[in-house]
Structure 1
């Protein structure tokens, strides 16, 4: 290898080594409230204006500039024209607009804050050790319990995880209902398995009033929620029993589990719905690895490593999905890859 090639390879090695600092830079920007400050200002802001708006110590003004430089490099912010020796002004991009702190449910801010919480980041530090172990989940090896057990033990962690899932559900439900509402045609009842606080089920019930919507989740997730609202909340275990309905909805559930557990969940789903000629089906929102272009492939592969890190699950390609469906007793499926990195999968008994 020539010297130039070695130096270029070293630079790439450094980029990989320090990629975690991209995540920490993102977390810092969110915690400081940089996107929210620019949004509330109503127009782009200079370094001086941002420093004042964020109420930071004067000694950290040069460090704020360095942070903004990195955020601009990452495409999180954009610098507007600085010609004529004018001071640079920083504006939002589509990415940073997603994490503005808003009173409504349109912000995705809870998701990166949860994923970058030390409780969820720490297990990734021990992946090498975990590979040398036998059967024990990585998260369990580090924390002494599974992630689901920890949500039951620590209410603040449970809230952190649920808020993250709710923020994602609020975004994705709009696209499903507005662009793919046909998947709900002919359905009179639907069970959202692992539906959390019910944001997706509520959106479906509002858009399709004739559909009776039920949310099934763990007691620590739904036990405190009202039972007389637009949707019905049921505490339970999807491995044991799923309430009967025309359709079962599974958003980001199956990727949390190994193949054996997924087959069990799918079998409970099959028991809950009528035959296909009576309208029975499962609607799954998950990643199908390789179903989208190269722009999203890295996201899919990163999520696969995340599943390996936190739970005993994985992201699957189409063949892996079909193998699960067959093992669980289903006869056919249809994939629509139009939800960014995720797809809508309809599965029929």
Structure 2
């Protein structure tokens, strides 16, 4: 009996290792769904649609061939298994139809509450490369991102406008998500201040929403110069570039949102 239990435990342990080994597939499949705008396609249709209908709406770019239905089917099967999408098989034997779930609604690009930019950011090769440097960090010390790219993330962003935009968009979408909680949970505090500086505020989406809800507040969005240079104008918000480790603008209160 003990031998049987030991064998079962060993098999379970092996299964867990296989699961961890291929867990990256979850994020890669999710990224592909965002890049292909699958959730947007289903949402714009207004209801469940077939695989062929999804494929017909995928933009392959100029000169590109038709989407590979077989590959798309595999991705959708995987994401259905992960409960990102649902699938329904009609009783009359018609083609299966796919629909959104509460999870896939977070993949919509045009939604006010979306994680699509963050998914694209976190799964970009520049941000996945540092994960391969963890063992080096243990052996040598140092920062994984710098090990992978030879410089800090802020330096790379200042030199790479495309990555800077990707990073800023990712930060902005998470700021929108937490803004509702801040506005509803800190009403008394926000009502009592005249000025507020968001340190590391990115392109200013968080501070702009606070100022919109509390117009009496004078808002300052403070971040590195290459970040605020890409920030859009907001009523009641002043964008200021600088290094928070050197000095920050004067205000009645400071707000800082961590990366996630």
| Fold shared by both chains (TM-score > 0.5) | yes
Shift of 1:58: 6.0
Query: Which residue in the other structure is 1:28 paired with?
Result: 32
CA RMSD of aligned residues (A): 2.2
Per-residue deviation, 1:97? 0.9
Higher strand share: 1
Distance 1:227 1:49, change over 3 A: closer
Output the TM-score relative to the length of structure 1: 0.67
Shift of residue 85 of structure 1?
Answer: 2.9
- Structure-2 change in CA distance of 1:20 and 1:86 (3 Å): same
| 2:230 is the alignment partner of 1:193 | no
Judging changes above 3 Å, is the alpha-carbon distance between structure 1 residues 55 and 167 closer, same or farther for their aligned structure 2 residues?
A: closer
In the alignment of these two chains, the number of paired residues is: 252
Match of 2:86 in 1: 78
- Is the aligned partner of 1:110 residue 2:114? no
Distance of aligned partners of 1:59 and 1:97 in 2 relative to their CA distance in 1, 3 Å threshold? closer
1:226–1:233 contact (8 Å) kept in structure 2? no
SS of alignment partner, residue 107 of structure 2: coil
1:293-343 CA distance string (max 9 Å, x none): xxxxxxxxxxxxxxxxxxxxxxxxxxxxxxxxxxxxxxxxxxxxxxxxxxx
Determine the C-alpha separation between the residues in 1 that align with 2:17 and 2:234. 56
Task: Report how far residue 42 of structure 1 moved.
Answer: 1.0
Residue of 11, 15, 18 corresponding to 2:15: 11
Alignment match, 2:100: 92
Per-residue CA shift, 1:216-263, capped at 9, x if unaligned? Answer: 11111113557784201111111111222111000116xxxxxxxxxx
SS at match of 2:77: helix
- Is the CA contact (8 Å cut-off) linking 2:201 and 2:222 kept in structure 1? yes
Q: Distance in 2 between matches of 1:228 and 1:95?
A: 31
In 1, Cα distance between equivalents of 2:201 and 2:68? 43
- Report deviation, 1:152: 1.2
1:124 aligns with 2:131: yes
* Structure 1 equivalent of residue 242 of structure 2: 236
Counterpart of 1:270?
none
Contact 1:38 1:92 in 2 (8 A): yes
Q: Report the Cα offset of residue 125 of structure 1.
A: 1.3
Contact between 2:204 and 2:231, CA under 8 Å: does it hold in 1? no
TM-score (norm 2): 0.89
Q: Is the Cα–Cα contact under 8 Å of residues 84 and 100 in structure 2 kept in the other structure? A: yes
Query: How far off is 1:174 after superposition?
Result: 2.4
Q: Secondary structure at the match of 1:243?
A: coil
Aligned-residue offset at 1:75 = 1.3
Aligned partner of 1:159 in structure 2 is 165
Verify: 1:175 aligned to 2:181, yes or no. Answer: yes
Contact kept in structure 2, 1:37 and 1:53, CA below 8 Å: yes
Matches for 1:262-301 after TM superposition, within 5 Å: none
Runs (4 or more) in structure 1 with deviation over 6 Å come to none
Give the superposition deviation at 1:52.
2.1
Provide closer, same or farther for how the CA distance between residues 84 and 196 of structure 1 changes in structure 2, counting only shifts above 3 A: same
The structural deviation recorded for 1:178 is: 3.3
